[in-house]
Amino acid sequence: MTAAESVTATTDSGPVEGKYVYCIIRNDRSREFGEIGIGSGARVYTVSHKDMAAVVSDTPIVIYDPTRENVLAHEFVNETVMREFTLIPMSFGTIFRSENDVRALLNSTYQAFTDVLDKMQDKIEFGGQGNWQDEKSKNYEIGGKFRLLERVTFNVSAFYTDIRDLQATVTAGTCSSRIVFNVPKAQAHGVEAELFARPNSTWDFGLSATWVDATLQSSVLSTSATGTSVVGGLADGNRLPTAPQFQAVGSVGYTLPLVDNRDFFSILTVQYVGSSYSQFENEEPGFGSVGGTDPNAARLIPYGGVPAGTVIPFDPRLAGYSLGNLRAGVRTDRWELAGYVNNIWDTNAHLAIDYERGRSARVGFLTNQPRTFGVYAQYKF
């Protein structure tokens, strides 16, 4: 059960009072569970409709941080209720405006809750997801290695990987937990090549590149009363996460003999990494929106008087980037002293997207280290 119906609101005098919902049980009488609720031991009781009840406590309408204390309080209530009742747990942080809103939920989903509770009778939930199958893959590769005049080396290979029951993770609704699903079929195929050349004792060159097409070959679907939908971006044709289609690295080295068996050396390395995605769900249309009417957009929390209809866009696709590193110094057989510059162009690369509570609490990017200067020393004993 997601927290799609939960709200956040404030007034000039402070947070609005609401109902924090822990779980749904079958019970037609008013019931008290004690002062064990989230928020310093709030009173926990039931709100009923027919023979269905929601276990709730009074709370300000706020966003609860998933701290250890709050999560343990949420779980403790459900564990207490579970001693006597079969229950449907609600997501952490699910809040409704009033008892009438809770009863409206029970009324609108009465049959669905009844069916689920019938199936769950005398059972307990472990993670909300059945066991997943072992992931299996078959790898095929063919290639060759070539050498010319002892100065040029060229390696090339082509590969194909067939994956069955790929274990893919998706975000569990509007919370930050992850759920594993098996995708029946996926594949990756591509080409790798390496070229190294040392025309003389002073210069050496290197170039390596990889092109890969890694995609899902089937979909994971969810069927509900409103129709069939793809689960968490697990759609046929979507790219596998953290798998850029093209990557390449080039290097140029220079060595100059000095006196007393010392050598001056320098090496320049340039790396290119193509675009990619952090997670399958990032490829869903509309994922890069907080607020708005798109069904895949995140809920915009109206803190600070955000105007109605506000949409905050971002690009979930991790753009390609280039990095350059330079190192130069003096070395002998026993020691080495060098200066270096990493990330010469001070590139701000987006390495991964980071978000919490389904993007409603936070959206950001993990980035690389900025331009860095340093000195390196080594001595062999």
Summarised one tens digit per residue, pLDDT across range 119-162 is: 777 554 444 445 678 899 999 999 999 998 889 999 999 999 99
For residue 265, pLDDT beyond 90: yes
Summarised one tens digit per residue, pLDDT across range 37-76 is: 998 788 999 999 999 999 999 998 888 888 878 888 898 8
For residue 11, pLDDT beyond 80: no
Mean pLDDT value across residues 222-245: 82
Whole-angstrom CA distances from 48 to 116, 189, 232 are 17, 56, 33
What percent of the chain clears pLDDT 70, i.e. is strictly above it?
Answer: 90
341 C-beta neighbours (distance < 10 Å), count: 15
The whole-angstrom separation of Cα 116 and Cα 112 is 6
Query: What residues have CB less than 8 Å from 61, skipping those under 6 apart?
Result: 7, 8, 9, 10, 15, 16, 17, 18, 95, 97
Confidence of residue 4 (pLDDT cuts 50, 70, 90): very low
Contact between residue 53 and residue 25 where contact means Cβ atoms under 8 Å apart? yes
Summarised one tens digit per residue, pLDDT across range 276-294 is: 999 999 999 999 999 888 8
Mean pLDDT value across residues 301-308: 78
Contact between residue 229 and residue 222 where contact means Cβ atoms under 8 Å apart? yes
Q: Which of 315, 304, 249 minimizes the C-alpha distance to 278?
A: 315
Rg from Cα positions in the chain: 29
For residue 367, pLDDT beyond 80: yes
Contact between residue 330 and residue 337 where contact means Cβ atoms under 8 Å apart? yes
Torsion of the alpha carbons at 272, 217, 358 and 307, rounded to the nearest 10: 80
The whole-angstrom separation of Cα 135 and Cα 212 is 20
| pTM assigned to the model | 0.65
Contact between residue 281 and residue 300 where contact means Cβ atoms under 8 Å apart? no
Mean pLDDT value across residues 185-196: 97
Among 53-57, 211-215, 228-232, the range scoring the smallest mean pLDDT is 228-232
Whole-angstrom CA distances from 258 to 264, 269, 329, 333 are 7, 24, 12, 13
Summarised one tens digit per residue, pLDDT across range 78-119 is: 888 888 888 888 888 899 989 999 999 999 888 888 888 887
User: Domains of the chain (ranges plus CATH)?
Assistant: 10-120 (no CATH), 136-379 (2.40.170.20)
pLDDT reported for residue 227: 59
